[in-house]
């Protein structure tokens, strides 16, 4: 495979990754805002605590891989999970 072709493929793959990150951030943000507006009654603190742990571990993995897309996506997921746990505990 030529160097130009490889760079072109890398750009496309990065674009897909950033699109996935955008959709993830939007859906997690929507769920978080819903918990703020509707209250935390239907939320499971164990689920979001588990999500926080998983996101933290994936963040470490992403940093080791030096993959910006996964770093950003996992920071967003981690902040969402921690924020939702706070809403559950405070609410």
For tokens 């164990």, the residue is 46
Work out the mean pLDDT of the chain and round it to a whole number.
88
Domain holding 25, by residue range, is 3-90
The pTM is what?
Answer: 0.79
CATH number of residue 41's parent domain: 1.20.1280.290
Residues with Cβ within 8 Å of residue 29, at least 6 apart in sequence:
80
Tens digit of each residue's pLDDT (9 = 90 or more) over 60-71: 999 999 999 999
What are 32-84's pLDDT values in tens digits?
888 888 888 888 888 889 989 999 999 999 999 999 999 999 999 999 999 98
Q: How many domains does the chain have?
A: 1
Residues 57, 42, 36, 78, Cα dihedral to 10° = 0
């Amino acid at each position: 495979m030529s160097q130009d072709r490889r760079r072109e493929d890398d750009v496309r793959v990065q674009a897909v990754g950033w699109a996935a990150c955008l959709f993830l951030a939007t859906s997690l943000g929507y769920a978080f805002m819903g918990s703020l507006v509707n209250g935390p009654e239907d939320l499971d603190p164990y689920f979001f605590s588990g999500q926080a742990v998983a996101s933290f571990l994936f963040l470490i993995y992403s940093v080791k891989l030096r993959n910006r897309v996964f770093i950003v996506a996992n920071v967003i997921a981690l902040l969402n999970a921690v924020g939702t746990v706070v809403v559950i505990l405070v609410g």
